[in-house]
Amino acid sequence: MGSPYFVLNKDFKAKLVKEMAYDPRQPLDWKRIYAVLFKYDANSLVHGVFLSLLDGGRVRAPRAITGFIEAEKVERVVSGGVKNSPVDPTGKTQVTGEKASETGVYSNVPYARVEYVAETITAYFNLDLALIRGYRLGEDATRLLTTLSLLKVRRFLDSALRLRTACDFVVDAVRAQAPASFELASEPELLEAVRAGIKACAPLFANPPVTRLKTKVEIVEKKEKAAGSKS
């Protein structure tokens, strides 16, 4: 929502300023601002938003959900292989023409590779429930933002966790530190809760719920540095 394609749209910007009662020279009505952010983009209150292009750059919301992955006892794994040429392993057969001989990839080429493994790899997620409640959007909106955040975590953990080349993660267990008794629901359960939350929050969303904007854009050509200029 903080994209210039949205905020620099004059009509939409004027609508935001009016609905937020935004005045860069006056104290802000944060409850009203959060309600408008939720109205047009509920995800902005989950992942955070900064409307830097709104006059004064004062409208922002921190991330409600954060996460990181930490590895312990990391070791290097050295491996390698070879790039095989099925046409001519010797590399004598080459394409003719300008710069054809400069490619250097005609023959079988051995290579080395260094990767890293760890004894344990743990993904941590933190959902700031106090922050979400602090938006003061009402019980239905608070529940929707919470279940939407949990659904994102569950889908991440249930997806193909290939976070880097040749490395697929498998989730061993999901545990909560606070509250300790919390159990992350399955994706179908969370999805059903999100759908119910969207239905309950319908009066709080824009009508129609999808906001479509037409913003004039132009292609800016980058000027090349003049020959001999200093970098």
Could you tell me the pLDDT band of residue 136, with boundaries at 50, 70 and 90? Answer: very high
d(CA 32, CA 6): 19
Q: What per-residue confidence (pLDDT) applies to 229?
A: 57
Do residues 55 and 14 share a domain? yes
Residue 144: inside a domain, yes or no?
A: yes
Positive/negative CA dihedral, 132, 137, 142, 148? negative
Residue 211: inside a domain, yes or no?
A: no
Q: What per-residue confidence (pLDDT) applies to 107?
A: 83
Q: What per-residue confidence (pLDDT) applies to 87?
A: 83
d(CA 87, CA 106): 8
Residue 221: inside a domain, yes or no?
A: no
Q: How far apart are the first and last CA of the chain?
A: 36
Q: What per-residue confidence (pLDDT) applies to 224?
A: 67
Could you tell me the pLDDT band of residue 225, with boundaries at 50, 70 and 90? Answer: low
Q: What are the residues whose beta carbons fall under 8 Å from the beta carbon of 75, sequence distance 6 or more? A: 116, 117, 118
Closest CA to 205 of 38, 44, 47, 49: 38
d(CA 95, CA 104): 11
- What's the mean per-residue pLDDT of the chain? 90
- What is the DSSP-derived secondary structure letter of residue 209? S
- pLDDT per position as a tens digit, 172-181: 999 999 888 9
- pLDDT per position as a tens digit, 196-213: 999 999 999 999 999 998
Do residues 74 and 17 share a domain? no
Query: How many domains are contained in the chain?
Result: 2
Do residues 110 and 155 share a domain? no
| pTM given for the model | 0.81
Residue 145: inside a domain, yes or no?
A: yes
In 3-state terms, what secondary structure has residue 69?
strand
Q: What per-residue confidence (pLDDT) applies to 100?
A: 66
Do residues 144 and 200 share a domain? yes
Do residues 26 and 49 share a domain? yes
Average pLDDT over residues 42-67: 94
Residue 173: inside a domain, yes or no?
A: yes
Residue 30: inside a domain, yes or no?
A: yes
- What ranges in 25-125 are assigned the alpha helix state H? 30-40, 44-47
Do residues 82 and 9 share a domain? no
Do residues 167 and 134 share a domain? yes
Q: What per-residue confidence (pLDDT) applies to 165?
A: 79
Do residues 52 and 150 share a domain? yes
- What is the DSSP-derived secondary structure letter of residue 26? S
List of E strands, 128-182: 161-164, 167-169
Do residues 140 and 57 share a domain? yes
Do residues 10 and 100 share a domain? no
Q: What per-residue confidence (pLDDT) applies to 85?
A: 83
Which range marks the domain in which residue 41 is found? Answer: 4-64+128-204
d(CA 190, CA 124): 19
Do residues 59 and 153 share a domain? yes
- What is the DSSP-derived secondary structure letter of residue 227? T
Residue 84: inside a domain, yes or no?
A: yes
Could you tell me the pLDDT band of residue 141, with boundaries at 50, 70 and 90? Answer: very high
Residue 219: inside a domain, yes or no?
A: no
- pLDDT per position as a tens digit, 75-108: 999 999 998 888 888 878 877 777 766 766 778 8
Pairing state between β 65-83 and 167-169: unpaired
Q: Which is higher by pLDDT, 123 or 96? A: 123
Do residues 101 and 133 share a domain? no
* 8 A C-beta contact, residue 34 and residue 137: yes
d(CA 141, CA 151): 15
d(CA 27, CA 6): 24
